Each structure stands twice: as C-alpha cells, then as structure tokens.
A = this chain, B = another copy of it.
Amino acid sequence: MNMWTVAKTMLTVGLFVLAAVWPVRAADTDKLLTDSGVYGTFAAFKMDHDWWDLTGEARVIAVSEVKGLIDQFSHKMVIESYLLRGLSDDADFMLRVHASALSDTQQFLSSLQGTRLGRHLVATTYLHGLTRKAAYVPGFSDQMKKDLQAPSEVGSKSYAIVIPIRKGAEWWTLDQDTRSALMQEHTQAALPYLKTVKRKLYHSSGLDDFDFITYFETEKLEDFHSLIRALEQVKEYRHNRRFGHPTLLGTVRPLDDILEMFAR
C-alpha cells in the first residue's frame, strides 16, 4: 500500500521531472565511450502481449519505476536506447550499455527485468563485447592512419545497426602480417564512408557466440548500405562464417520516448 502511494506520487509529480533529469551522465561518460577495456552490451527486448492487459495507470507507474532505475545506475554506466519496433521483426527496443565491468551491467539489466515493466519484457538478443586498442592500425600507411582520424559527422537523430560476426577458423590461423594486409584492404574500402557512417568495434570471442560485434550509426542509411557492399567485395569478407543473424536495425531514440510508447 505504501509502495502504491509512493508510486502514485511519482506518477503525479515525477514523470516530467524524471524525464528531465535523466540521464545524469557521470563525468566519465566520455571515457566509457572511447576507452579500450570497456564492456559493451547490446540487449534487445520485446514487450509481451499481457502488458496491454494492465490498466493505463499501472503502465504509467511501471514506466516510472524503470526511469528511476536507470537514473540510479547512470552514474556508473552509459545507457543508450534505440527503437527497433517497425524496423525489426524480433524486438521492440534495444539498450546499449557501456560499463567497466560486466557484473555492473548484469546488475542493471537483471534489476530492469525484475521491475513490473521488466516482467513483461522478453529478452530476444544479448550480445557482449569488449573494446580494445586497434589491432591492425599500427601497421597501416601513414596516409591511412591520418584518414582514419577524420571525425564522422553524425547528427543526433540517426539510424543504428548492429551486425555480429563469427570468423571462420582459417582466419585465426593466418599470420599477423597476412591479416594486417587483409584488414588494410578492408579499411581502404571503408574510407569513403568515414564521414557519414560512424563505426565502433567490440571483441566478443568467448562472451557470446560471435567474435566481433560491429556497430554503425548514420543519418545516411544509403551510405551505410554502400559501405557494407564495399566491405563484401574485399577478400577479408570470405573469412566471415556468420555475418549478422541477427542484424539489428533501429533508430537512436531517448528511452523516455520509447517508454512513453508503452505507457500510452
């Protein structure tokens, strides 16, 4: 009963406040997003049908609880959200969580699944990866190194795509020089899209059934498509035993917007 009163109060006065204060990103947000040795988790969820049997009021309270939870965890991790609904057949939204320890991510995501809203979430895909220093760049030409430093011009409202990759066993038995040469060709093919398509690589061998998670962000989806076509045409692509499956396509969207869709 007490909880109910609290919740009701949250409902009356808290919704907009919470929406405004979230996310209180910690000072080291930038570090988490750029450092190596950081864990990135991609967690896609689907809302089950029973959710809609709740009253509108109950849904609003449940949504507030999630917002509070995220507020509470945002001091030690960066939580970003994506709307997949309408672009993916398998999930409604996705969270990307950056944290320095996967146990923190687990604490957050298991707490999320334990909320009243979370009990209605079906976790459809969990992918984990680690950021690492670029393995092949040191061997690249100076020109290419310079080209790679050009910042990408990605706005605030863009598409995000996640493609996990499993390499064939042959890839790993190639020597470092051969792999470096193949990756240089790969990088050369990607250069023209550097400006409009932002990329981030996660290493996941052992953490899930993939070796890498590739993450892309772009406002020019056509450029992203051309980039993938370009990458398919280099020799390194033949070493991908699994590319996608799943391919997750969505749009960057504040979690508040996404949650409002389920509160209405």
Instruction: State whether A206 touches B222 (Cβ < 8 A).
Output: no
Instruction: State whether B130 touches A106 (Cβ < 8 A).
Output: no
Q: How many residues of A contact B (CB 8 A)?
A: 75
A67 within 8 A of B: no
Question: Which positions in A face B, CB cutoff 8 Å?
Answer: 37, 39, 43, 48-50, 52, 83, 85-90, 101-103, 105-114, 119-120, 123-126, 128, 130, 159, 161, 163, 167, 169-170, 172-173, 203-209, 211, 216, 221-222, 224-225, 227-229, 232-235, 237-238, 240, 244-247, 249-251, 261, 264
Instruction: State whether A159 touches B83 (Cβ < 8 A).
Output: no
Cα–Cα distance between A240 and B167 once the two chains are bound (Å): 13
Report copies per complex.
5
Instruction: State whether A232 touches B247 (Cβ < 8 A).
Output: no
**Residues on the B chain within 8 Å of A105, using CB:** 86-87
Q: Chain B nearest CB: distance from A240 CB in Å? A: 7
Cα–Cα distance between A50 and B27 once the two chains are bound (Å): 41
